[in-house]
Amino acid sequence: MANTLRLCVAQMTSTNRHAGNIAWMQDAAARAAADGAQMLALPEVAGLCIRDRDDALAQVVPHADDPFVAACRDAAARHGLWIHTGSTPVSGPDGPEGRRFLNHADLIAPTGEIAASYDKIHLFDIFLDGKPATGESRRYAPGARAVMAETPWGPLGMTICYDLRFPQLFRDYAMAGATMLFVPSAFTVPTGQAHWETLLRARAIENGAFVIAPAQVGLHDDGRATYGHSMIVNPWGSILAELDGETPGLTIISLELGEVTAARRQIPSLRHGRPYTFHHIAQSEPDA
């Protein structure tokens, strides 16, 4: 297993058309490869950021026909680069007639072959005071499989955005041996300001793993605003790299995978879990 991964994390302001996002990705891949990166990690909805249902139905296609996935595969092969596509919407098992998609991620090997695929499990249905409900489940069907992929740098656990709030998924990956946990995201500004850094650092510390979180940023064509602050956190919870909350860009850093072994040796919490029973003690009614 290789000890060092030269990783490029991308921060995008994805549009509601594939073509512009493909062009941005192609430039990012070329720049990453020129700087010696071995892997490019993209954010959630990197391929298509769109909320209008009719517009989406006219553009979203099955995974095998998706132009963004095809372009990522071509870029990976051209540059000899691993590419984590972040995610892009593809047709779900119920098809366009069901009006729901899958929020789909691929890990692409330097040959251009798809090494692993993941569909977002936990959907972003939240109700912030003073704002309309997000209702991701109206547009997307949930995935049902956690996916850990083998890489030259160790096992990689795949998640997407709202999955970050479900620590049991990350624990399962760590218990299975994952050294890197990927969280491509499109956080809202209010939730990003309140929770983004805290959650990312917590997942890294709890599991003694690198957390890699490429993010969307800024104002998008479909009217949403995203928080940015793409981040890489090491297994001790230290922030190794962070982009701003305003502009697209890239950050490239070398990850020392030995830090995972060191963190898990010093705080071996993955080995310290114990079975327990759960007791809820109800308060008795006061005497009349």
Active-site residue, selected from the candidate residues 8, 49, 72, 161: 161
Q: Tell me the one-letter amino acid at 16.
A: N
Active-site residue, selected from the candidate residues 44, 136, 242, 259: 44
Known catalytic residue: 120? yes
Cα 54 to Cα 103, 115, 136, 253, distances in angstroms: 17, 32, 15, 40
**Torsion (CA) 218, 219, 221, 226 in degrees, nearest 10:** 60
Strand residue runs (E) in 18-100: 39-41, 82-84, 88-91
Known catalytic residue: 197? no
Give the count of beta carbons closer than 10 Å to the beta carbon of residue 244. Answer: 12
Handedness of CA 202, 205, 209, 212 (dihedral sign): positive
Known catalytic residue: 44? yes
Active-site residue, selected from the candidate residues 8, 49, 72, 120: 120
Give the count of beta carbons closer than 10 Å to the beta carbon of residue 95. Answer: 11
Residues with a catalytic annotation lie at 44, 120, 161
